[in-house]
Structure 1
Amino acid sequence: MMRTRPLKVALLGCGVVGSEVARIMTTHADDLAQRIGAPVELTGVAVRRPSKVREGIDPALVTTDATALVKRGDIDVVVEVIGGIEPARSLITTAFEHGASVVSANKALLAQDGAALHAAAGEHGRDLYYEAAVAGAIPLIRPLRESLAGDKVNRVLGIVNGTTNFILDKMDSTGAGYQEALDEATALGYAEADPTADVEGFDAAAKAAILAGIAFHTRVRLDDVHREGMTEVTAADFRSAKGMGCTIKLLAICERARDGASVTARVHPAMIPLSHPLASVRGAYNAVFVESDAAGQLMFYGPGAGGSPTASAVLGDLVAVCRNKLNGTTGPGESAYAALPVSPMGDVVTRYHISLDVADKPGVLAQVATVFAEHGVSIDTVRQQGKDGEASLVVVTHRALDAALTGTVEALRKLDTVRGVASIMRVEGE
């Protein structure tokens, strides 16, 4: 039976995502009511610039006093899409205190303070949902914490930033350099005027922290995630990758150690074989590859950003939270019972692709090979090209501890015959 009294929703933020949330709530009102079992009513919209015209939104709902809005006491669900740490954190905790559950798309806040927010939600018997925080429209958080709740997830490997994937895909398909591809991404609206959060891996690192926490039932904070950006990736790196039958992606990688005693989370560019499913993810799309004991290998693919895709995930959470409200229940909260330690990057076992500029004379290769042997790193392949007293030496290693590989590179830099380390990149997905 349909309940006639509407569930009241407050919207914090009315930018690209917030305006789409409001639009869908209006245009799909009848369908949402049927799916929930009660109407939902947008009863307030907190913004910074109230004078801006917002099509389809009653100006009487608009306010600049977000705190007063979440303190009203009659709000059932607060949708937070303003981003950042403050005032979002304070507004969310205030919403819990005054009887509202929260749907958020705030990856940075959840990666930094997710445990505290979950604790506040639990203390007040409220829901905290955030499907939209990781991969836009792609259903990922709910499958990890519900559909795979009876399984053991061992690895989550994914492309979780559309801007960086667009840039790297453009470099791969056209031979463009990094700056040229970034300029095109900016012109098309895929990159912000300041793309630092994307291209330096901060956005992906926040998402990796959230995914690792859910997948491994362990608290993983942003500071636990090893992060490297992609600004140093060159057209020459792509040529080397193609020679190995690979391409290059900025990956978020969350892994359980083979002995199950610890986990790692990292973000960095990596070469992956063209045969790997993630290699075919083009443009601004996202994809996440999940490996578990019972289900095996699963892949989730779709648009990872943008107003409509992100709003789709927000509305999905809104429906779930509203259903819980009607049933007098709450959904899954934080699951951190495993409390596994998060190991540093040096403990990760991986492979390296190293490009060296060396002197073109006898004995150089032997010197380089000796450095690898001294650090316990086995060489898989070597390719050398020489011209006019200079040479390029490309070494691909077998799997080894990242700390050993890092030490190898540091030692190589000290060789008189090594003029420079042109490129260092990990090799994944094999």
Structure 2
Amino acid sequence: MAFLLPVIGYGQIDSEKIPLDSKIKTGVLSNGLKYYIIQNKKPEKKIELRMVVNAGSILEDKDQLGLAHLMEHMNFNGLKNFPKNEVVHYLQSIGVEFGADLNAYTSFDETVYILPIPADDKDKIEKGFQIIADWSGSALLENEEINKERNVVLEESRLGKGADDRMMKKWLPEYLNGSLYASRLPIGDDELLKTFKPEVLKRFHRDWYRPNLQAVMVVGDIDPAEAEKLIKAKFSGFTNPANARPRPESFDLPARKSSKAMVLSDKESPYTMVQIIGNSQRSKSATTVKEYLDDVKQNLFNQMLAARLEELKNSPNPPFVFASGGFNGGWARGWESFQLFAICGNEKIKEASQALAREAVKIKKFGFTSNELERAKAEILASYETMFKEKDKTESRDRIEELVRHFLTNEPAPGIQWEYNLVKGRLGNVNISEINIIKDQLGIDTTYFA
């Protein structure tokens, strides 16, 4: 019986749920809005605020292409408590600059508003919370301002039509393989942006800018109780629409039925890149100890691949000037794929392509060695040790990004002490056969995209 006890204990540990860091104060308002608060004085007298909407261009209707991005712009062009451009003017008056500090982005799956504010004055703090509350649900969306901003977004689209953008619009629909993502690029459709009626934008706002799809993150030099009080005061009055449209957790990415190779060229491209991508596969964030350790094993796999590519880069007459690879999340939330890419000179396209293909085949056939694994373990453990030792030096802007990912994708946020203790205690037990099983998931046997 004594010999069975460690095995039983191990199973219980593996099935244990990953906790949320006890330093995070979290809650849900009656309208469904979530909030996360961490007191952090790196730096002092500053607070990082985020207002996150779990909605992006993937949720646009056919007559709304590009309007998720335009809606982001409109939140800087007329709010209930900051009409016209007053939000930008006010923030500049207290030292918060647009672009460098104040910012936002729209992607396929989410829209994130970024606001750092000084914490040296209660009025500044109160107004900062009012701004993110107005972003949540108090955009004025005046027709005149909408018509002005459509021209700004069209100009942004025009200026963005460089080599990378032109080539991306050719390969991305092929890579996304007929999914909805292929037709929902955040920049949208120029012709639609020229002609849409303001009501179409307002419909997007009504459907998706609602509290049960939103979260507020506060990290910085502020008492968590004070931050929670401000959130409740500013956000509790928002309501969800009757018969709210369902927000799908994820969207399908159809499996590739055959391999596809594309050659794209543009005279303005500053570099040449070769890429091999395996079939996409479903992924999800870890929720148990076992799943967290599975992610660590995948990181070990990626680390060993990186070491092989680095060795090639440093060899005499290397086939590329830079290369990277491994399992990565792609454009679509909830999906990942095995990828290899290299940057090379035009005269070495063939050599770079062959080098990547050789490495993929070698891994698929033979996997990695125990010596490679031990080196990767040492590197990963050293990384965790560094993060653990410097945990009290973590900047608020770094801590808050972890909270954004936790809300959007359920990425674990147990705190570095929990992660370091787990990895330190369990990493040594990982053997090479556990790593080499991962090579069966490359997705490049019969179908790939290059």
Instruction: Quickly name the TM-score band, shorter chain normalised.
Output: under 0.3
Q: Which has the higher contact order (CA 8 A, sep 6+)?
A: 2
Higher strand share: 1
